[in-house]
Copies of this chain bind each other. A is one copy, B any other.
Amino acid sequence: MAPYDPSAHPPFAVTVDLVVLTVRRHTLCALAVRRGEPPYQGRWALPGGFVRPDEDLMEAACRELAEETGLRAQPPASTAAAGPSGPYGTDGAHLEQLATYGDPKRDPRMRVVSVAYLVLAPDLPAPRAGGDARSARWAPVTDLLRGEEGTDDEQRAPLAFDHALILADGVERARSKIEYSSLATAFCPSEFTVGELRRVYEAVWGVALDPRNFHRKVTGTPGFLVPAGGTTTRQGGRPAQLFRAGGATLLNPPMLRPEV
C-alpha cells in the first residue's frame, strides 16, 4: 500500500445498485426505476443509492431493497458483515454481491464507485413506487438490454449510466449460478411444484427442458427438494406435488444447461 497520506484521498462517492430479478409470466424480469432528476432524467435505471457513512455495503443494499420492493431485509446480526462470503437470505429472496463498477466517467457529476448487488426474488406484487413518487416497473431483461435502438417509445431507451452492463453481468451470474446451485428456488414461492421450478429454469435460460428428465434430476438430487405434503392444480392438468426448497445449496453434479 502506498504511504499513508490523509490528503491523498480524492473524494469518492460510493453507491449500491441492485439487479433485482424475478420470473413473471415465463419471462426473466428486472426491477427498473425511472430517474426523476438529471443526469439521465426520465430514463430507466437500476434501483440504488448512496451508502451511508456508518453502513456496511450489504446493509445499504438491503435498505435499498426494502425501500424499493418492501422486502424485509434485516442485516445479519453479526456474521461477516464485510465480505461477500455466503449469500444472505431476505424473506426468501436471495441477495449477493455482484461486482463493482468504477469507470471514472460512469457518472458525469462526480467520481462514483458503485457496488452492485444481485437479488433473486419470487414473483412479487407490483413494485412499490417508493416515497418519492418515482415510478418503478418489472421489465423483461431482454427489453432492458436491447434498448439501444432509438425509438420514440421511452420504455425502450437504454438504461442510465452503465446499468445495462451491470444488468447483463447480473443476468449472466444468475444464469450460471442456477446450474450448480439450488438458487433457482429463490425465484419460487415457498411452496412450488416441479413444473414451476422447471419454468424458472426455462425462463432464465431461455430454453425448453424435457419435463421428464428435469423431474428425474431435481427429485433425484438429495436435499434439493423436500415434499411439502399437498398437491396443487394451479397450473392446470394433473395435480402436482408441492415441494419446499431443501437444505442443499450446491448441486453436484450440476444441472446441465443445453448448448444453445
* Chain A residues proximal to chain B, CB less than 8 Å: 1-4, 6, 8-15, 33, 35-37, 45, 47-57, 80-85, 97, 99-104, 106, 109-111, 113, 115, 132, 162, 165-166, 168-169, 254
**8 Å CB contact of A1 from B2, B47, B110:** B47
Contact A104 B1 (CB under 8 A): no
Q: Which B residues are in CB contact (< 8 Å) with A8?
A: 50
Q: How far is the CA of A215 from the CA of B169 in the complex (A)?
A: 34
Minimum CB–CB distance for A245 against chain B, Å: 22
Contact A82 B162 (CB under 8 A): yes
Q: A53-B111, A82-B106, A83-B166 are in contact. List 11 more A-B contacts (CB 8 A).
A: A1-B50, A9-B13, A9-B50, A11-B11, A12-B12, A51-B102, A83-B165, A83-B169, A84-B101, A85-B168, A113-B113
Contact B82 A2 (CB under 8 A): no
Contact B132 A3 (CB under 8 A): yes
- Main SS of chain A's interface residues? loop
Q: How far is the CA of A97 from the CA of B103 in the complex (A)?
A: 14
Q: How far is the CA of A100 from the CA of B98 in the complex (A)?
A: 9
Contact B1 A113 (CB under 8 A): no
Contact A37 B104 (CB under 8 A): no
**8 Å CB contact of A45 from B1, B84, B166:** B1
Residue of B nearest to A103 (CB): B82
**8 Å CB contact of A97 from B13, B53, B54, B100:** B100
Contact A100 B115 (CB under 8 A): yes
Contact A55 B14 (CB under 8 A): no
Question: Could you say which of A10, A13, A102, A103 has the most chain B C-beta atoms within 10 Å of its C-beta?
Answer: A102
